[in-house]
Amino acid sequence: MTLWRIPLDSDEIEVPRGEVYILADRCKGCGYCIEFCPKKVLQFSKEFNAKGYHPPEVAKEEECVNCHFCEIICPEFAIYSVEVQTGES
Amino acid sequence: MSKSAKGSHHPLDDLLRTDRIPHIWCPGCGIGTAFSACLMAMKASGIDLERTAMVSGIGCSGRGAGYVKLDSYHTTHGRAIPFATGMKLARPELNVVVFSGDGDLFAIGGNHFIHAARRNVDLTVVCVNNLNYGMTGGQVAATTPSGSKTTTTPVGNPEAPFNLPLLAFASGATYVSRWTILHSRELTESIEEGLVKKGFSFIEVLAPCPVNYGRRNRQRPMDTLRAYQEKSIIMNDADPTRLQIDFDRAIILGKFVDTERPTCVESYDRTCRPPMEPADEEKAA
């Protein structure tokens, strides 16, 4: 996201970090999580799952901000994210 | 790399019959998202899930009752609301959620819907509107937009579709909203409000049907979601008469009605079981 100015409290705000978990064998490859991830963290993997679809894989692990959008848009209950404790707070 | 997630559990797994997952819904179908929003709302609302029942009718969305690990009923076609009404009258302490499709609730079950809304039965009705009869092969439904192609209208639908929020409002529903599966955060909040609210709550969810509706209208699932993103306008408290679905113009989303009215059970008790007068109580004793 581009900002037209840096927010005044930007040094106080801690951006959460998330870790994406993918239940590959539930995926049917609709691609909604990949398309609508606001940080474009995910991409289609080259491997097939048990049903013959390409599940997503994490491309930019450090970009995930744990917004859970992949989790709530997924029609298959196949992806979710968990907050990573950075240890700073 | 992501964790392979072996042995880990999805946050909704405790509400799912995981032995039946993966579900039957096609790749790109929106029912799964609507269903997951419904489960998330149930969890977030803090209602007693031991005293919650899900009722669905027949159709793709009707399978919902079979996947939820709560008391659930998979009823006859169009009769989800009568079953739910009966359950609510017999056990008023239950939270009853009706999760079904547009064909089930508004075509074969249309009369039941309007009368449950008129009586203001305390139900939460989540209607997944995929604009056609998906399970039987994509025939024209009461909600198919004018001009859309289906198996039974190969040159375009000549009829006008139902405006579901207007129908619910005119029948007397006390909570009416419409969202799409792309607006799933708002959808979850809306279902949660409907669950907590006393009275008849109706939530319409627009969902893509890529295999039967999308394919005949040259829409890939991603195109449908893009249309939801580009064509939708969020307008809370919009005039219900303006909510006709027309993808050439705009689809209005939002919460349209949120009012209070005595529920079916309350009015019944007030009229037919009035509190006894002291004199009558003495006689009864």
- Does a structural domain hold residue B91? yes
Name the domain count of chain B. 1
Q: Checking DSSP bridges between strand B124-129 and strand B175-180, what pairing results, if any?
A: unpaired
- Does a structural domain hold residue B21? no
Cβ-based contacts of A78 with chain B (< 8 Å) = 10
Q: How high is the pLDDT of residue A15? A: 87
- Does a structural domain hold residue B256? yes
- Contact of A67 with chain B, judged by CB distance below 8 Å, is answered with no
Cβ-based contacts of B32 with chain A (< 8 Å) = 74-77
Q: pLDDT tens for residues B218-241? A: 999 999 999 999 999 999 999 999
Q: How high is the pLDDT of residue B1? A: 42
- Does a structural domain hold residue B10? no
- Does a structural domain hold residue B245? yes
Residue B205 is part of a domain; what is its CATH number? 3.40.50.970
Its sign, for the CA torsion A32, A35, A37, A38, is negative
Tokens of B21: 């997952």
Q: pLDDT tens for residues B124-176? A: 999 999 999 999 999 999 999 999 999 999 999 999 999 999 999 999 999 99
Query: What does the alpha-carbon distance between residue B81 and residue B62 come to, in Å, rounded to a whole number?
Result: 12
Single-letter amino acid, residue B190: S
Q: How high is the pLDDT of residue A32? A: 95
Burial class (CB in 10 A: 0-12, 13-18, 19+), B174: buried
Given a contact cutoff of 8 angstroms between Cβ atoms, the answer to whether B26 and B38 are in contact is: no
Q: Is the pLDDT of residue A51 over 50?
A: yes
Strands (E) across B28-186 are located at 52-56, 71-74, 95-101, 124-129, 175-180
- Does a structural domain hold residue B15? no
CA quadruple B177, B71, B90, B106: dihedral, nearest 10: 40
* Average predicted confidence (pLDDT) for chain B: 93
Query: What does the alpha-carbon distance between residue B69 and residue B18 come to, in Å, rounded to a whole number?
Result: 9
Tell me the fold of A24-84.
Alpha-Beta Plaits (3.30.70)
- Does a structural domain hold residue B3? no
- Does a structural domain hold residue B23? no
Confidence of residue B74 (pLDDT cuts 50, 70, 90): very high
Residue A35 CB coordination number (10 Å): 14
* Average predicted confidence (pLDDT) for chain A: 90
Cα B194 → chain centroid: 10
* CA distance readout (Å), A62 to A70, B120, B267: 16, 50, 57
B84: left (phi over 0), alpha (psi -120 to 50) or beta: alpha
Q: pLDDT tens for residues B12-35? A: 999 999 999 899 999 999 999 999
- Contact of A48 with chain B, judged by CB distance below 8 Å, is answered with no
Q: What percent of chain B has pLDDT over 70?
A: 97
Residue-range definition of the domain harbouring residue B126: 28-284
Q: Is the pLDDT of residue B48 over 60?
A: yes
Cβ-based contacts of B8 with chain A (< 8 Å) = 21, 23
Rounded mean pLDDT, B52-58: 96
Q: How high is the pLDDT of residue B276? A: 78
Closest CA to B104 of B148, B56, B146: B56
The count of C-alpha atoms lying within 13 angstroms of the C-alpha of B130, restricted to the half-sphere facing its C-beta, is: 38
Give helix B264-272 / helix B80-90 axis angle, nearest 10°: 50
